[in-house]
Structures are given as C-alpha cells and as structure tokens.
Amino acid sequence: MKTVKPPRLKPGDRVGICAPSSPHPSRESFRRAGEVLAEMGLETEAGPHLWKKNGYLAGTDQERAADINHFFSRPDIAGIIAIKGGYGSARTLEYLDWQGIANNPKVFVGFSDITALHLALQKETGLITFHGPVLFQLTPEKKTSYLVDSFRRAVMGSEPLGLVDPAPEKTPFTYTINPGQTRGPLVGGCLSLIVQSLGTPHAIDTRDRILFLEEVGEEPYKIDGMLHQLYRAGKLQEARGIVVGECHRCQPREHSPSFVTGTFILEEILADIIGSLDIPAFYGLPLGHGRHLATLPLGIEASIDANRQELSLLDTATSN
C-alpha cells in the first residue's frame, strides 16, 4: 500500500486528545500538558468520551473508537494525540471508520499500547503515524528538552529528521548486536503489542523493513518468549535490520517468578536470538518507556549503521 503523509502541524492548529486504551483521571495533567503544547502554538481539545472509565478501559470499545473517528472526521482538527497507553487500543479496531480515516489523513501520535493502532492504521490506510509521547508525558514535570524537541521536529518540521540522537545521559547505553548497514521503511513499536498482532489482519509486516522494538517491565524470560514467537513467525528473519530501543525495567526480578536456579540478562537474550540473524542490529536508543523518548515517523525510509549504533530517518514525515 502507498504511504500517505499527513499535513504537518502548524502554529494555530487544534489537536484532539483521545484515550484509546486506559483512563487517565487527572484533568490537571491535561491542562498542564495543554500549556506545553500551547507554547508550541497548538491548541488542545478533549474527546467527547475522554474522561469515561470502564474498569481498566477509558470507556467502552465503541466510545473510545468513536473519539478517534470523531477527530479524524473533523476538518478543524489537525492532529490527534493519545492521552496515555495502558491496555485496550486493539479492542477499538473493529469499530474504526477506515475509509473516513483514509480520506482525512492527520498526524496521529502515541506509543506503548498505541502500537496496535499504529500497525492497523498502516495496514488499512498507509498513513504515516508517529511513535511518540502520549499527552501525560508532555506535562512540565515529565517532559524533557530531548522529548519536546524531537516531538516538535517530527510533527511540525519540514525537513527529514536525520540521525536519532542517543539519550543525553547515555542511558540507555548503546551497543552493537550484529554489525552492518542497511536501509528500508521503518516499522515497529512495543514488543508485546507486536506479538499480540500476530494471526490477526493487522499483523506487523517486516519484509524488507527496519524493525524497531521496545518494552517495559518484562523479565528476560518473557522477552525471550516474545522474540522466539516473532522468530517462529518469520518476522525477525524477514527484516533488513533491527533496532532494539530502550527496554525499561526489564531486568530479572529478585522475587517470584524469577528462577532461583539461574536466569539470563537481557543482553544475553538479544545475543542469542537477534545475534543469530545475518542482519544489522543494535540496542539502546531512547525509543521506549524511559525518561527520554524520540518521536519516530512509522513508514518512512530509514537507515541503520549498527557498527556506530545509528538510526537515521531519511525522508520527510509530513506534507505541506
């Protein structure tokens, strides 16, 4: 499917805020993040069902999907940002108006559980979407200059983003898994959500693409299992290269269910599975749940130099 670039955001544009996954109860955080976006010249509007709560979901599946459809259909809304991740965005997919979304391409931003929506939007519409901050990360107490600068350049800039900088404090650290250079369209997101897409109409397509992965709060044995599932599905082998972003809090735990007889650390898991592939791969850019987060346009041409642990975004992500 042909990729579709959304119009870039400009000062004076209005951005819709939706909750495709779990609820975020703090209206004060909404207001404070709105002030940060206002400094960029962007106005914010809460979705009609933004403050709904249904257990661990932000309203019913239909309500959460309705807000996405609502914002894509409105000509006065230039972009959409998820308020947070959590759980449940995949449950909205059967209620989304794919044709309406395709007819009205817009900047769409989020990460973590929002990975399910990124994969589906790419499959159904070809829309370039943005793996980037959810709204609550844009509050004054959570944002970093790295996060804000990367977000602004990705959704408001007119030039290719170029090299993705490592985190300012070099945390996470970067290292090569397999040497080499390659290029291709960029796909990926949260590992567990990518694995959940397998066997569905919106399963990730990694053929001749650069795959990036990140995760949070999972022990090495869980990551081992998820990577093996991708391997057995052929998804790792089909990729041209792999970037493993920050895997935040993914060390072995000192309590059950860690194995008292021994364990592996994350680096050993990556070396065992990804290291067995004959493709360039490296670890460590701030592409996940850590303090800093680079905004990545999904679907554009990118290149990696695993020897130097570099990811470069080669094409513009927006139109106009």
Write the pLDDT tens digit of every residue in 184-196: 999 999 999 999 9
Beta bridge partners of 296: 131
Residue 250 confidence (pLDDT) above 70: no
Per-residue pLDDT of 162-181, as tens digits, reads: 999 998 877 778 999 999 99
Q: What is the average pLDDT score of the chain?
A: 94
The pLDDT of 146-163, averaged and rounded, is: 96
Spatial distance between the Cα atoms of 18 and 117, rounded to a whole number of angstroms: 12
Peptide bond into 257 cis (omega under 30): yes
H-only helix segments in the chain? 27-39, 61-73, 98-103, 115-125, 145-156, 191-197, 220-232, 235-238, 266-273
User: In the chain, where does the domain assigned CATH 3.40.50.10740 lie?
Assistant: 14-156
Domain 162-313 sits in CATH 3.50.30.60: yes
Quote the pLDDT of residue 253: 74
Tokens describing residue 183: 């290029």
> Does 277 have pLDDT greater than 70?
yes
Angle at 160 between CA 240 and CA 243, to 5 degrees: 30
Q: How far apart are CA 19 and CA 17, in angstroms?
A: 7
Distance from C-alpha of 55 to C-alpha of 65, rounded to nearest angstrom: 17
List Cβ neighbours of 284 (8 Å cut-off, separation of 6 or more): 166, 172, 173, 174, 175, 244, 245, 246, 309
pLDDT value at 307 more than 60: yes
Position 142 pLDDT exceeds 80? yes
For the chain, residues classed under CATH 3.50.30.60 are 162-313
Q: Give the list of residues 6+ apart from residue 100 with CB closer than 8 angstroms, or none.
A: 69, 72, 73
Name the band, by pLDDT with cuts 50, 70 and 90, for residue 237.
very high
Residues designated as active site = 112, 214, 289
| Class in CATH terms, 14-156 | alpha beta
Mean pLDDT of 201-208: 98
